Amino acid sequence: MRVVHSITSLQGMIDRNKREGRTVGFVPTMGFLHDGHLSLVKQAREQNDIVVMSIFVNPAQFGPGEDFEAYPRDKERDTNLAYEVGVDILFMPTPEEMYPQEGGIRILPGPQANVLCGASRPGHFDGVLKVVLKLFNIVDPDRSYFGMKDAQQLAIIETFVRDFNLRTSIVRVPIIRDQDGLAKSSRNVNLSETDRAEAPVIQQALQKGVLLFNEGSSVETIERGVTAYITENSSGIMDYVSLLSYPELAEYDGLSDEAILACAVKFGKTRLIDNIIISIKDGCHVQNDDEQ
């Protein structure tokens, strides 16, 4: 595995591989790798000749007062894990390498970014799209792998790729969970022991929401049911819960083929997100999760 810090060196390596006819799979991450990231790499490994992973905690997607400083980092551990899972090139740029100048062009996502996390974190998806576009231009991947835990991010990136004719295919990869149902996240390490014990309530509440959905309950009843389950069974503070069409992320009107039931909950200073994608056609929910 080659570890690269400079954009020019990485581009040189990619160019050589492409000239020799190799396909490139790309796994962008912010590091502190867990099984969710590793499943992205495994899928990329199966479908491409070489796998590039980036690790970069992108300051542009954190707002004032968010957890940029507290975001967990461990370069040595990540390097070992990336090597073990079969990454060929690990790109770990510094903020100066990625953003040599302040300011510059901003990318403004459409209405998909005004709901869910976009409503709670203004500007977050501008920063995500900026770094993703830079990374796509640097890595020039045939396929790029994103986890369904960040279903809103995935939907916005799919729209971005479509609207701007970006030359990479986006591959959706199912959520990976701990045994007790908590979705894997780098932020889980920041939970206190008590909060970690309570956090699986999020997935349980979403499952209850799907039951309400299948009984024909209204959007309001479903959202209230999820909130009540979380607040009655944990000390978690609701940020949002929302049932929307997917991947449009518009008001759910019963006509779309798929819907997303998504929520964000704060345990102490740690904000966790999770979701379930519901297939409307057959009236039962689709697990956007890996089989455990």
Give the shortest CB-115-to-ligand PAF separation in angstroms.
17
By beta-carbon proximity to ligand PAF, the closer residue of 13 and 133 is 133
d(CA 146, CA 36): 10
Task: Kindly state whether residue 58 participates in binding ligand PAF, applying the rule CB under 6 A.
Answer: yes
- Helix (H/G/I), strand (E/B), else coil: 235: coil
The size of the interface with ligand PAF (CB under 6 A), counted in residues, is 10
Task: Kindly state whether residue 28 participates in binding ligand PAF, applying the rule CB under 6 A.
Answer: yes
> x-or-dash pattern for ligand PAF, window 87-126, by CB under 6 A?
----------------------------------------
Give the shortest CB-61-to-ligand PAF separation in angstroms.
6
Task: Locate 200 and state its tokens.
Answer: 């699986």
- In the chain, what is the straight-line distance between the N-terminal and C-terminal CA atoms, in Å? 30
Q: Which stretch binds ligand PAF (CB under 6 A): 22-30, 62-70, 177-185, 248-256?
A: 22-30
Task: Locate 259 and state its tokens.
Answer: 């819907």
Give the shortest CB-108-to-ligand PAF separation in angstroms.
17
Q: Are 262 and 273 in contact (CB under 8 A)?
A: yes
- Helix (H/G/I), strand (E/B), else coil: 249: coil
- Helix (H/G/I), strand (E/B), else coil: 185: coil
% helix, strand, coil for the chain, step of 5: 40, 20, 35
Q: Which of 131, 176, 201, 226 binds ligand PAF (CB under 6 A)?
A: 131
d(CA 93, CA 206): 37
Q: Which of 4, 24, 30, 38 binds ligand PAF (CB under 6 A)?
A: 30
Q: Which helix (H) or strand (E) holds 53?
A: strand 50-55
> Which of 5, 34, 37, 124 is the catalytic position?
37
Q: Which stretch binds ligand PAF (CB under 6 A): 23-31, 78-86, 216-224, 230-238?
A: 23-31
Residue showing tokens 């640097």: 138
Give the shortest CB-195-to-ligand PAF separation in angstroms.
21
Annotated active-site residue 37? The verdict is yes
Question: Quick one: angle between helices 151-163 and 124-139, nearest 10?
Answer: 60
Give the shortest CB-124-to-ligand PAF separation in angstroms.
9
Task: Kindly state whether residue 128 participates in binding ligand PAF, applying the rule CB under 6 A.
Answer: yes
Give the shortest CB-275-to-ligand PAF separation in angstroms.
14
Q: Which stretch binds ligand PAF (CB under 6 A): 11-19, 28-36, 85-93, 243-251?
A: 28-36
- Give the ranges where the chain is alpha helix by DSSP (H): 7-19, 35-47, 75-85, 95-98, 116-120, 124-139, 151-163, 193-198, 201-214, 219-233
Task: Locate 25 and state its tokens.
Answer: 């799979």
Binding site for ligand PAF (CB under 6 A): 28-30, 58, 61, 128, 131-132, 150, 153
Catalytic residues, by residue number, are: 37
